[in-house]
Structure 1
Amino acid sequence: MNGTREKLTLPDGGSRLLLHSCCAPCSGELMEAFVESGIDYTIFFYNPNIHPLKEYELRKQENIRFAQKHGVAFIDADYDTDNWFARAKGMENEPERGIRCTMCFDMRFERTALYAHEHGFPVMTSSLGISRWKNMAQINDCGHRAAAPYGGLSYWDYNWRKGGGSSRMIEISKRENFYQQEYCGCVYSLRDSNRHRRDQGRDKIRFGEKFYGVDDTPGSAQE
């Protein structure tokens, strides 16, 4: 694998970690790093932004499969799309990395922080920041904001891309033959991705057809 993994230690003397996972490709590197470092962690899957349901289920099941392989607890939270669309109202035409994405991160992290607080997790983090398509500062701001109301809970803003983390993410995805999503997740990113593909003369995104181990063409691993 590219680079050497750093031995990880939870911040602030934490003993347990709640990992908000957006998908298996982005989470694989974090999960293996936690296992190697002996960190006790649980996966929290709450991503009501992912559309349509078929895509949501594909991403979730890949995540469950990898969690089971490592014997890691997996919390499957509600797919409350109505609440997500309500919060996104008026932001339908905002660009990627804009205020709609901030809302989306806030919503997902707020639920993660609540679960962490209610179940005794002193530290939370997310796999979202490992993707090169995301604004890490934007994600970290949302994470710290979500954890702030709960005394004793901190958001771990470790840079998961450093030390070859992003490269290992792709290597793990190919090794595990993960499903390769081709857009961030929400209906608006799907719309914009398909517009871009149309302008390039490419077909629309087809759900459930592209996998890392089958097609090694550089992909997005976006969510």
Structure 2
Amino acid sequence: MDGNNKLIREKIALPKDGKKLLLHSCCAPCAGEVMEALISSDIDFTIYFYNPNIHPRNEYDIRKEENIRFAEKHNIPFIDADYDVDHWFELAKGMEHEPEKGIRCTMCFDMRFEKTAEYAAAHGFDVISSSLGISRWKNMEQINDCGVRAASRHPDMEYWTFNWRKKGGSARMLEISKRERFYMQEYCGCAYSLRDTNKWRMANGRQKIELGTKYYGDEE
């Protein structure tokens, strides 16, 4: 670490004497600070990338490749799970016009965390968690409830509800994103989030999102 106080981290430890963490990652910007915090605390972890909500496919590929790049830089194992987007749309039927942080998001978190927990149980991980909670745009209680529910289906598995935003985590997230020049996604990820974000932009005199063009640090 350099002399910047914002980069000073306290050592953290897995809950209940956990040995091995499977970290669900939604994207590189959210995962960057979480991964560096885990590395600095010598925690054994693997990245699990399962995000069939991300739409369209080229947006999904950009977000995934950014995460792979950062994982490879730190020699962190990366599990690339299936992009079963058709199944996600099936589960989202009837929820197309639900607001952000509503029941559609709960369904989405449940889907991703249940698959994460299943993989963890089959491959010797006793703790799961997610980088989703570091984003200020997300409801941390909603995310934690979904994670705990998914882990409870497997004996001796724990969902780690650590608050990644605290003690400068959110600021470091932004610093790392600029340092690494991560791709800057401008909506949550799903087709309905993209639709609603663009609808808001047009109503407020702003241009629609241009996918694949904006990166952290470009504005400086």
Instruction: Detail structure 1 runs of 4+ shifted over 6 Å in the superposition.
Output: none
Counting matched residue pairs gives 216
CA deviation string 1:34-58 (max 9, x = no partner): 1100001000000000000010000
What is the identity, as a one-letter code, of the residue corresponding to 1:55?
Answer: E
Q: Where does residue 58 of structure 1 map in the other structure?
A: 62
C-alpha distance in structure 2 between counterparts of 1:103 and 1:4, whole Å: 36
Q: Deviations over 1:127-159 (max 9, x none)?
A: 000000000000000000000010011000000
The alignment status of 1:24 with 2:25, answered yes or no, reads no
Paired position in structure 2 for 1:132: 136
Cα distance in 1 for partners of 2:17, 2:145 equals 22
Give the % identical residues.
Answer: 67
TM-aligned CA deviation for residue 3 of structure 1: 5.8
Structure 2 partner of 1:202: 206
Match of 2:23, SS? strand
Segments of structure 2 that go 5 or more residues without pairing to the other structure are: none
SS in 1 for 2:167: helix
Q: Is the 8 A contact 1:180 1:211 kept in 2?
A: yes
TM-score (norm 2): 0.97
Shift of 1:5: 1.3
Tell me, in whole angstroms, the C-alpha distance in 2 between the residues paired with 1:136 and 1:215: 29
Letter matched to residue 16 of structure 1:
K
Write the mapping of 1:40-51 to structure 2, written as runs, cut at 5 A. 40-51=44-55
Show the 5 A alignment for 1:154-169: 154-169=158-173
Gap runs ≥5 in structure 1:
217-223
> In structure 2, what is the Cα distance between the partners aligned to 1:209 and 1:117?
38
Partners of 1:4 and 1:163 within 8 A in 2: no
Q: Please name the residue that 1:36 is paired with.
A: 40
Residues 1:72 and 2:76 aligned together: yes
Q: CA RMSD in A?
A: 0.8
| Alignment-derived partner of residue 83 in structure 1 | 87
Equivalent residue for 1:190?
194
Distance 2:201 2:10 in 1: 38
Counterpart Cα distance in 2 of 1:31 and 1:3: 13
Specify the alignment match of 1:177 in structure 2. 181
Q: Which amino acid in the other structure matches residue 151 of structure 2?
A: A
User: What amino acid sits opposite 2:143 in the alignment?
Assistant: I
SS of match in other structure, 1:167: helix
TM-score, normalising length: structure 1: 0.95
| Distance in 1 of aligned mates of 2:174 and 2:197 | 21
